[in-house]
Chain A
């Protein structure tokens, strides 16, 4: 029974990916209309609700993708749980009711694959780091090496969280030692501390600086020292709605999904 469902899901996923790719070669907005029209028998098979566990840094783009996915498949409800990938992976392994996991690092995805909760994840995006400073830039930070000054209050992610891991790689290649004042649970908390002006700088993803608009200013990290993290996505094997879960994964990987991610500042994997 389960095998059958998975096969069916695969068919649906392929149909969807194919359809939306043909759709997106045309104009932008009616992309989803031909998709649902041409594959109406399989699309109508999608129903119910799914819960997507996604990395904090995907908050903006995945919320948008979820709305679009719901519009393309009436009757489908997508709920999100955003948090640190490491936290989400722990929760999924402990049996949290996730249908899809989108991680900000291959390491955390590997954890749930090893635990048997997912198989064959696909990379769907890449992200690089940037220094976020309050708009007034109180510590006058002009480059990443300024973060090594002891007078500069820096917020980073916990060393277990992907944004913390990637920031550590940046510091290693820039050959600097940064003593943060706080290690935050996820990247959005780092950004919030910068927005509130309680720290002089935070190391976050390029996409976070873009999403924050005028509330923070970005200080670009030169490509020679910058580090990137790859985002894999997979349907969770214990999902009670595997067809819809697979379809959502396919939607994220489809050109429509990719264009939303690119607009948010993500790079192709």
Chain B
């Protein structure tokens, strides 16, 4: 508004000159530039610190150590399983939230996205109280089947799924809402059953967002700390994931903590690059 009224006070020649240059929108006002640069420094400098302090010479030996390898393997497979589960049960839920129409739908949406804003450690406590050995569900698992979930890799996967699945659900739900329903209606008119429409039309239509949601979900699962350490505890090779290994290594061997952090940083960068690619395609698809 302000820039508009200001530019209207300019001479016609000046206005034309600015328009040719790309308009006032191209130049960054100084009051915005300075804080923006502070923000950039704040976000980038800590990462630089990680790279500057990295024990490049010892990197190989630290990362090939059994604890680090175990933690990395555990993190990779649990995050992948958590993502698979999220895809299998989360995508149908996203469809239900986007296309369904039933009472309590908004409440349901709020409930399933709650873990997104809930502090993860609270999620861990909640899981422990539900599925722990004395939890209201875990009690029966223990007495009927002799199954105890806490302190097992299953608990790690559950904690990660609990925290990460909402990322997939909201991404896919958003895509389903904005996708052109004309294709689905056309398919239905041509005699396709609802399930065929979902499989052959809807899923390919939202594929880019599905991919982005899955990557986001996987990255969140990989970085999970609070819910995992609360519900699954920590034991090397069984429940000690990368973030937990970083946390403990900082006390014992800071170089190892930095090396492990670098690996997670690298994974994050790869995730970001792949996400950006998918998001670009997602934008051009419809």
Contacts and interface: CB of A to CB of B under 8 A. Distances in A.
A124 B240 CA distance: 35
Contacts of A199: 151
Contact of B252 (A153, A155, A160, A196): A160
A198 B239 contact: no
B213 interface: no
Contacts of A158: 234, 248
Nearest to B233: A182
Contacts of A196: 128-129, 132-134
B134 A160 contact: no
A168 B133 CA distance: 26
Interface string A107-132: 00000000000000000000000000
A193 B128 CA distance: 10
A185 B226 CA distance: 12
B165 interface: no
A181 B233 CA distance: 8
Contacts of B129: 196
A249 B281 CA distance: 64
Interface string A184-208: 1100000001001111000000000
Interface string A233-249: 00000000000000000
Interface string B120-150: 0000000011001110000000000000101
A141 interface: no
Nearest to B149: A198
B133 A181 contact: no
Interface size class of B (residues with CB under 8 A): 20 to 34
B251 A87 contact: yes
A199 B128 CA distance: 12
A90 interface: yes
B229 interface: yes
Contact of A182 (B134, B151, B252): B151
Interface-central residue, A158, A160, A198, by most chain B CB under 10 Å: A198
Contact of A180 (B133, B150, B235, B250): B235
Contacts of B232: 182
A162 to B, nearest CB: 12
Contact of A184 (B133, B233, B251): B233
A182 B251 contact: no
Contact of B134 (A90, A184, A197): A197
Given A86-B251, A87-B251, A153-B151, A185 B229 contact: yes
Contacts of B128: 196, 198
Contact of B250 (A90, A181, A184, A197): A90
A183 interface: yes
B248 A160 contact: yes
Nearest to A190: B233
A197 B234 contact: no
A181 B151 contact: yes
A185 B150 CA distance: 16
A181 B251 contact: no
Contacts of B251: 84, 86-87, 90, 160
Contact of B234 (A87, A160, A182, A198): A182
Interface in A120-179: 153, 155, 158, 160
B56 to A, nearest CB: 22
B235 A183 contact: yes
A208 B129 CA distance: 22
A184 B247 CA distance: 12
A155 B233 contact: yes
A184 B234 CA distance: 6
23 contacts: A84-B251, A90-B250, A153-B148, A155-B233, A158-B234, A180-B235, A181-B150, A181-B235, A182-B232, A182-B233, A182-B239, A183-B233, A183-B234, A183-B236, A185-B229, A185-B234, A193-B233, A196-B134, A197-B132, A197-B133, A198-B132, A198-B133, A198-B151
